[in-house]
Amino acid sequence: MTDPALGDEDVVDLFDDMPPNVDTDVYSVARLYDFLLGGRHNFAADRALGRKLLAAEPNGRLILLENRAFLARTVRHLLDQGIRQFLDLGSGIPTQGYVHEIVHATHPGATVVYVDNDPPAVSHSNYILRDDPNAGSLLADMCVPEDILSDTMVKGLIDFSQPVAVLALAVLHFVPDDEDPCGIVARYRDRLAPGSYFVLTHATSDGVTQETVANVQEIYQSNMTAATARTKDEIARMFSGFDLIDPGIVLIPYWRPEPGQMPEHPENYWFYGAVGKLSP
């Protein structure tokens, strides 16, 4: 894992496959998450912001690592259900064992499209994916589904007349209430074929001190974009029209944990996770 104490002098050594148009002095959510996940695709600015978040929530790194473990479990489950198409919204930089690596390890012909609104993240993603004909990254706003679903590259990789998994991990809490996150999800849902899936993780205000939530929200709002932690009932409304599969909406460590994977104090992982299926 990347040492959180690394200084500015380590930046170049850590990043040996950087596309040419990335500004190393400006932080991004994508590289911030990479730092918190212990990755190497981040710079001093990202690490400085990451340390602020870890000071506000010392479990922040563990939560995101568990979020990534949830992703792996759900993707493998969906592969077992026959899903071979994946649309990942707000994907960031696809490193550290991300969707295309999990999928192509067993099904090389399956297709993956990543979507993000951060130009450096998309540029970096396409650089990573440059030799993979079955994966691509699109610069787009996930809050405008129509633009994404009609994009030529997306339609070249995903056939929306067939089941597809739409992934929205740790991203919808960046969509404020006045932008109607439930309505955005519904617009994707209405374009999906029966048998498709919707996968979500979302920060919650349930069971965590309000001081912690407020401190984390203040750091995000001061540095990049506001975040909104929501209750279980609020998150459940995002699954309107989908049938939740067992165990429903639960804190992410509780979603079908593999033997030996349950962390200590799972109640401290204040992200809910759930998978819904679109029935005929």
User: Which pLDDT tens digit goes with each residue over 189-206?
Assistant: 999 999 999 999 999 988
- The answer to whether the Cα torsion of 120, 126, 128, 130 is positive or negative is negative
Pull the structure tokens for residue 5.
């104490």
Between CA 113 and CA 89 the distance in angstroms is 9
For residue 208, what is the domain's CATH number?
A: 3.40.50.150
Residue 257 lies in a domain: yes
Identity of residue 197: Y
Does position 254 have pLDDT exceeding 70, yes or no?
A: yes
- Pick the more confident residue, 164 or 14: 164
C-alpha angle 138-27-271 in degrees, rounded to nearest 5? 75
pLDDT band at 11 (very low <50, low <70, confident <90, very high): very low
Identity of the highest mean pLDDT range in 47-51, 73-77, 205-209: 73-77
pLDDT tier for residue 46 given thresholds of 50, 70 and 90: confident
Specify if 51 maps to a domain. Answer: no
27 is a domain residue:
no
Residue 218 three-state SS: helix
pLDDT of 141 strictly over 50: yes
The pLDDT-based confidence of 181 (bands split at 50, 70, 90) is very high
Number of residues that make up the chain = 280
Residue that has been written with the tokens 């610069």 in this structure: 139
Question: Per the structure, how many domains does the chain have?
Answer: 1
Residue type for 37, please?
A: L
3-state helix, strand, coil in the chain (%, to 5): 45, 15, 40
Q: What is the pTM of this model?
A: 0.83
Which whole number is the average pLDDT over 270-275?
Answer: 94
- pLDDT tens digits for range 47-69: 877 787 777 777 777 887 889 99
22-43 pLDDT, tens digit per residue, is 666 666 777 777 777 777 777 7
| Domain assignment of residue 239, yes or no | yes
Within-domain flag for 222: yes
Reported confidence tier of residue 241, pLDDT bands at 50, 70, 90: very high
In a domain, 272, yes or no: yes
Taking the C-alpha atoms of residue 153 and residue 162, their distance in angstroms, rounded to an integer, is: 17
According to the model, what pLDDT value does residue 6 have?
Answer: 39
| Residue 45 in domain | no
pLDDT of residue 15: 45
Range of the domain at 198: 60-277
pLDDT of residue 253: 95
**Greater model confidence, 98 or 197:** 197
Arithmetic mean of pLDDT, 226-252: 95
Query: Do 103 and 112 contact (CB within 8 A), yes or no?
Result: yes
- Confirm whether 9 is domain-assigned: no
> What is the pLDDT averaged over residues 253-259?
94
How far is the C-alpha of 66 from the C-alpha of 250, rounded, in Å?
A: 13
- What is the share, in percent, of the chain residues with pLDDT greater than 70? 82
Strand partners, 113: 87, 136
User: Average pLDDT, whole number, for the chain?
Assistant: 85
